[in-house]
Chain A
Amino acid sequence: MSHPSAQPHSAGHPAAADAFVANEPRAHWHDKALWFIREKRDRAAASLPEWETLRDRAAQIKAHTIANLPHYLEEFEANAQRMGVKVHWAADAKEHNKIVLGILQQHNAKKVVKSKSMLTEECHLNPFLEQHGIEVVDTDLGERIVQLREEPPSHIVLPAIHLKKQDVGDTFATHLGTTPGADDPQYLTEAARGHLREKFVAADVGITGVNFAVAETGGIVVCTNEGNADLGVALPSVHIACMGIEKLLPRAADLAVFVRLLARSATGQPITTYTSHFHGPRPGCELHIVMVDNGRSDIRASDDFRRSLNCIRCGACMNTCPVYRRSGGHSYGSTVPGPIGSILSPAMEPEKHKSLPFACSLCGSCTDVCPVKIDLHHQLLTFRRELALKNLIPLSKRVSMKLLSFVLSRTWLFAVGGKVMRWVMPKLPRFMVYNRMNAWGKQRELPPMPPQSFRELYAIRKHMVNKPNGEASSHSTKGAA
C-alpha cells in the first residue's frame, strides 16, 4: 500500500489552502487543536526556569557540530563500527532507497515494520519498497491511519492531526473491520493495537528513524510515546536506522539538553514515554545505520540557511504558525510542512516549492518557540529575495512589487495616490474592489477609508502644538496610521 508522495500543487500553497479553508468549521477546529498543543508547550517551557539557557545551549551545540560535521561523522562511524554496526552513506534519496532495499533483499525480507522517520518520507522509501514487492507497515498510529487512507502525513509529530475521529472510524471500518460508525478513540486505538501486534510479530526487519546520533559513543537515540520503534526492532533480527547527516551530537552529555527540549517543545510532555539508546546490535543480530545527505551539504554551504540544519523536528513552529494552523499541512505539498518545511523544501528544490516562503505573515512566532533558535521568519524573508534573484516569483507578484516600489519611492505620487484612493474607494461598486485582483479581500472586509492620511493628521497636530493654547489631543490621531 502506498500513499502518493507529497507532491507540490501546481498553483502552490495558496490554491491548495483554498480547499482546506473552504470547510470553515473544520479549519477552525484544526486551528484550535494546534493552538491547544502550543499552550501545552508554553506550560512545559515555563516549568523550567532554565528554559532559555537550554535553547541557547542547544543552538551553540548545533552550530559547533554542523561546522565540524565531517569530523563528527567520521568519529561516529568509527565508534559505531567498533560495536559491530554496519554504517552506510547515501548522497541522495535514490542511493538511500537502494541501500535499504539491498539489505532487505540480502535477508530475503518481505515484511517490514517502520516507525516514524521523516527522512524515509523525504526519500519516498515506502513506494519504492512496495514496487519491489515488500510490505511496509507504518507503526506509529497516526502514520498508520494516513497510510491506510493513502495520504501523506500532514504534520511531522502528529501525522493525522487533520482528521476527526469519525474519519478514523470510517478508515478503520474499511481496513480493520471495526464497527461502522464507531468513533471512540479508545476503541479505535485498541483495534489498531491488535492489528499492529500481528504486524510486529510477523516482521522480518524493523526500520526506524534517528532522533540523535552521538559521535563520541557511536550510539543512536530514538524517541517515541507509543513504543512502536522499540517493539519494531526488538523482535526481528535486523534493525535499519535511517538518519540525515545533521542528526549528530558530539557527546552523550549533550543528549540531556536536547531530550529536555524535544518533547516539551513538541507536545508539552516532560519527556517521551520511551527514549531508547542503541549502542551496537543485539547479540547475534544486525544493526545498519544509513547516513543520508540529500541536499543537506548544500544547505550547510549557505550562510543564510545553515541554521535550519539545527532542526530537531519537534513541530513547535507548525503548532504556533497562523498560516499552518489555518491552511493544514497538506497545503504545503512537502514532506515537512510549516515554517521549517518552507525553508528546507525550497532549499532542496526551489522550483518545486517556490510558493512556500510566501506562506508566512512574518509574525515571528515560530522563531520565538524554536527550541534550537532557528531564525525561521528571517530565513523565510531572505528566501523570498533568493527566489526573486532566481526569477521564480510569479508574474502577478513581480508586477505589483514593481508598481509598489515605483509609488513608494516617490513621495508626491504616494500622497496624491492616497488622496485619490480615499475619495474614490467608498464610491466604487463592490465588484470593483472585491474581485480576483484583491486576494486580501477574499475573506476579509477592507477597513473604512479614513478621512485624512497620517501625514495630514500629523501636520494638523504639529500646528496645534505650536499654537500657545493648542489642545493637541493624542487620541484624535488614534487609528489613523
Chain B
Amino acid sequence: MNAREKILTKLRQQVLPVPPLPGPDGPWITYADRAAQFSAALATVGGQAVRVASQAEALSHLAQLPVMAKAKRVASFLPDVDRANVDLNLVTDPHTLEDVDVTLVQGQFGVAENAAVWIQENSAPLRASLFICQHLVILLPERDLIDNMHQAYERIGRFGPGFGVFVSGPSKTADIEQSLVIGAHGARSATLYLLQNDR
C-alpha cells in the first residue's frame, strides 16, 4: 500500500461525527471612514498612504521622494510612467530584476482593517518584481477600499490558477531582540497612493 492509500484508509477507519460547517456571515467590523482607517493601519505597519486626486498627481508626488530621485531602474506595471526604464514585457528571467530600485503596481483593492492590498499576478506578471525591488509603490482608487477580510475573499471570488498576495506595508523583521527593522528581504518602503479619481 502506498502512503496515500495508507493515510486515507487509516483516516477513513476512524469514523467521527462531523459537526456542521458554519456559514461565512458574521458581525464583522465596518468603518465609517475606510480611507482614514486604512491610512492609520498602514502607518502602524510602517507604510505610508498618500491621498491624491489622480495618477498624474501621484506620479508628481512620487518624483519628489528621495527614493525616486535616486532610483536608477524603475519597473512599472502602470501605463504612462515616464520614469519607467525596465521593459517588463521583455523580462523572461526574474533574476534580471535583481537591481530594480522601484516597482510601481496597481492594487486591486485595499482592506481597511489591516491595510492589506490585494495584488494578483495578472497585474504583476512577474511576481518576483514585487519582492525583489528596493521600494514598492502601489496605486489604488479610493473607491476600491473595503472594510474587512471577509469582504476581501468575497470580492476575490473563485480562485483560478495564478498568484495573488495581500501586501500590508514594507518587508520587516523583529527577529533581533524584538527591534523592528524595516526592509528585511523585500521592499524597504511601501508607499500607497489613494486616488480620488479612478485614474
Contact = CB atoms under 8 A, between A and B. Distances in A.
Interface residues of B, number: 73
A50 B166 contact: no
Contact of B11 (A69, A140, A270): A69
Contact of B171 (A190, A227, A259): A227
Contact of B19 (A64, A168, A188): A64
B176 interface: yes
B89 interface: no
Interface in B116-134: 116, 127-128, 130-132
B153 A252 contact: yes
Contacts of B66: none
Given A50-B28, A60-B19, A272 B168 contact: yes
Interface residues of A, number: 90
A200 B131 CA distance: 11
Interface in A429-454: none
Contact of A89 (B7, B14, B24): B7
B3 A259 contact: no
Contacts of B27: 49-50, 53
A142 B170 CA distance: 18
B114 A270 contact: yes
A193 B175 CA distance: 13
A325 B95 CA distance: 42
A165 interface: yes
Contact of A228 (B18, B41, B160, B185): B185
Interface of A: 33, 36-37, 48-50, 53-54, 57, 60-61, 63-64, 66-70, 73-74, 83-84, 89-91, 95, 139-142, 145, 158-161, 163-165, 168, 185-186, 188-190, 193, 196-197, 200-201, 214, 217, 219, 225-228, 230-231, 234-235, 245, 250-253, 255-257, 259-260, 267, 269-280, 282, 291, 293, 297, 300-301, 306
27 contacts: A33-B178, A49-B29, A54-B26, A57-B26, A64-B21, A67-B16, A70-B11, A89-B2, A165-B176, A168-B176, A189-B183, A193-B184, A193-B185, A231-B131, A234-B127, A235-B132, A255-B153, A256-B150, A260-B149, A267-B174, A270-B44, A270-B114, A271-B149, A274-B168, A279-B164, A300-B14, A301-B14
Given A260-B148, A278-B163, 17 more contacts: A50-B28, A53-B26, A60-B21, A60-B22, A61-B21, A83-B161, A142-B175, A161-B178, A188-B176, A226-B185, A230-B130, A234-B131, A256-B153, A276-B163, A279-B159, A279-B163, A293-B7
